[in-house]
C-alpha cells in the first residue's frame, strides 16, 4: 500500500477547538492512542511497532504521544490492562454458595466467554511471540493475570482450608493451565476453536478431574 501508515485506516476523533485540552479531552486522546497502539501491535508485533508509527496512526504528534507515554512498554501494558478489565468484571468475585465443581464451572465459563470476546487472545499471542526478545512483557502479563489467580485461589481455599495460600495459588495456576492451555495453543496457531458444545464438554470434564483430584488428596 503506497504511503499508508498501516493496513487499517482510522478516522481520528481528535478534532477539537484550539487551546489547552480539558481533562476529559486529555483522557479521550490517551484512550484513542492506546487503541491505535494496540492495533499497531496486532498488525506488526511489539518489536516492529514504533512510537512514530503509533503517533501517525493516532493522528497525533510525537510530542503529544510522549506527553502521555514515556515509552512503548507502558502503552502496551495499558492496552493489556484495558482488555483485562473486561475479563475481571466477570471474574472479580468467587461465586458464593456453590460447591467446588459448581464454582469452578462458573469461573471456567466466564473465563472462556471473555477470552473469546476481548483482546485477551490477541494479547496472549503477542506475549508468546515476543517473550524471548522482550521478557519485561511477560512480567507485566503475569501481574495482569494475578487477579484471576486470586479468585481461583479463593474458590480452592474455601474447599481446602488446610492448604496454604501459596499452595492454593499454585493450584489455581494449574487449573488455569487446564482450561486455558488449549485456547492459548489454538490462538497461537490460528486454529479454529472447538464448537461450543464440544468446548463445554471439555470444560466440564476438566472441572470434574480437578475437583476429584482435590477430594482424593483430602481423603
Residue 105 lies in a domain: yes
On whether both 88 and 127 belong to a single domain, the answer is yes
On whether both 62 and 104 belong to a single domain, the answer is no
On whether both 85 and 186 belong to a single domain, the answer is yes
Length of the chain: 219
Residue 143 lies in a domain: yes
Which residues have C-beta within 8 Å of that of residue 161, sequence separation ≥ 6? none
User: DSSP 3-state assignment of 67?
Assistant: helix
Judged against a pLDDT cut of 70, whether residue 164 lies above it is answered with: yes
The CATH number assigned to the domain holding 180 equals: 1.10.357.10
Residue 18 lies in a domain: no
On whether both 153 and 211 belong to a single domain, the answer is yes
Which residues have C-beta within 8 Å of that of residue 193, sequence separation ≥ 6? 116, 183, 186, 199
Distance (Å, rounded) from C-alpha 213 to C-alpha 30?
Answer: 47
Residue 8 lies in a domain: no
On whether both 50 and 124 belong to a single domain, the answer is no
Which is higher by pLDDT, 179 or 63?
A: 63
On whether both 158 and 123 belong to a single domain, the answer is yes
Q: In sequence order, what DSSP letters do the residues of 116-137 get, joined into one string?
A: HHSTHHHHHHHHHHHTTT-HHH
Distance (Å, rounded) from C-alpha 147 to C-alpha 88?
Answer: 8
Q: What is the pLDDT of residue 6?
A: 37
Q: What is the pLDDT of residue 82?
A: 75
Stretch 186-196: mean pLDDT, rounded?
74
- The proportion of the chain whose per-residue pLDDT surpasses 90, expressed as a percent, equals 30
On whether both 102 and 168 belong to a single domain, the answer is yes
On whether both 140 and 196 belong to a single domain, the answer is yes
On whether both 39 and 95 belong to a single domain, the answer is no
Distance (Å, rounded) from C-alpha 65 to C-alpha 164?
Answer: 45
Which cell goes with 107?
A: 469461573
Q: Which of 45, 70, 95 corresponds to the end of one domain?
A: 70
Answer whether 105's CB lies under 8 Å from 207's CB: yes
On whether both 112 and 161 belong to a single domain, the answer is yes
On whether both 139 and 178 belong to a single domain, the answer is yes
Judged against a pLDDT cut of 60, whether residue 210 lies above it is answered with: yes
Which residues have C-beta within 8 Å of that of residue 93, sequence separation ≥ 6? 151
Residue 201 lies in a domain: yes
Average pLDDT, the chain: 80
Domain holding 59, by residue range, is 23-70
DSSP 180: H
The CATH number assigned to the domain holding 29 equals: 1.10.10.60
Judged against a pLDDT cut of 80, whether residue 121 lies above it is answered with: no
Residue 114 lies in a domain: yes
pLDDT digits (tens, 9 = 90+) for 7-61: 334 444 555 555 677 888 888 999 999 999 999 998 998 999 999 999 999 999 9
Alpha helices in the chain (DSSP H): 23-44, 51-58, 62-68, 72-91, 100-117, 120-130, 135-159, 165-189, 196-218
Q: What is the pLDDT of residue 10?
A: 42
Stretch 64-70: mean pLDDT, rounded?
93
Q: What is the pLDDT of residue 208?
A: 93
Stretch 120-145: mean pLDDT, rounded?
81
Q: What is the pLDDT of residue 166?
A: 95
Q: Global pTM?
A: 0.69
Answer whether 156's CB lies under 8 Å from 214's CB: yes
Stretch 188-205: mean pLDDT, rounded?
81
Q: What is the pLDDT of residue 140?
A: 79
On whether both 58 and 140 belong to a single domain, the answer is no
As a whole number of Å, the CA-based R_g of the chain is: 21
Q: Measure Cα distances from 166 to 80, 141, 179, 211 in Å.
A: 26, 20, 20, 18
Residue 2 lies in a domain: no
| Number of domains, the chain | 2
Which is higher by pLDDT, 97 or 110?
A: 110
Answer whether 78's CB lies under 8 Å from 34's CB: yes
Residue 16 lies in a domain: no
Q: What is the pLDDT of residue 163?
A: 94
Q: What is the pLDDT of residue 146?
A: 84
pLDDT digits (tens, 9 = 90+) for 31-45: 999 999 999 998 998
Q: Which of 15, 37, 70 corresponds to the end of one domain?
A: 70
Amino acid at each position: 500500500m503506497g504511503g499508508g501508515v498501516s493496513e487499517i485506516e482510522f478516522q481520528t476523533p481528535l478534532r477539537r477547538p484550539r487551546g489547552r485540552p480539558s481533562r476529559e479531552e486529555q483522557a479521550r486522546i490517551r484512550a484513542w492512542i492506546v487503541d491505535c497502539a494496540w492495533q499497531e501491535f496486532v498488525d506488526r508485533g511489539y518489536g516492529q511497532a514504533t512510537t512514530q508509527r503509533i503517533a501517525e496512526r493516532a493522528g497525533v504528534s510525537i510530542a503529544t504521544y510522549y506527553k502521555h507515554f514515556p515509552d512503548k512498554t507502558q502503552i502496551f501494558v495499558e492496552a493489556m490492562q484495558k482488555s483485562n478489565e473486561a475479563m475481571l468484571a466477570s471474574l472479580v468475585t468467587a461465586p458464593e454458595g456453590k460447591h467446588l465443581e459448581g464454582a469452578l464451572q462458573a469461573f471456567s465459563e466466564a473465563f472462556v466467554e471473555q477470552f473469546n470476546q476481548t483482546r485477551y487472545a490477541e494479547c496472549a499471542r503477542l506475549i508468546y511471540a515476543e517473550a524471548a526478545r522482550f521478557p519485561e512483557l511477560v512480567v507485566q502479563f503475569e501481574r495482569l493475570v494475578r487477579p484471576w489467580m486470586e479468585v481461583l485461589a479463593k474458590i480452592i481455599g474455601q474447599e481446602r482450608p488446610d492448604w496454604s495460600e501459596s499452595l492454593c495459588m499454585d493450584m489455581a495456576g494449574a487449573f488455569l493451565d487446564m482450561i486455558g492451555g488449549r485456547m492459548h495453543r489454538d490462538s497461537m496457531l490460528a486454529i479454529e476453536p472447538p464448537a461450543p458444545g464440544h468446548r463445554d464438554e471439555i470444560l466440564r470434564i476438566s472441572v470434574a478431574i480437578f475437583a476429584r483430584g482435590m477430594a482424593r488428596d483430602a481423603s
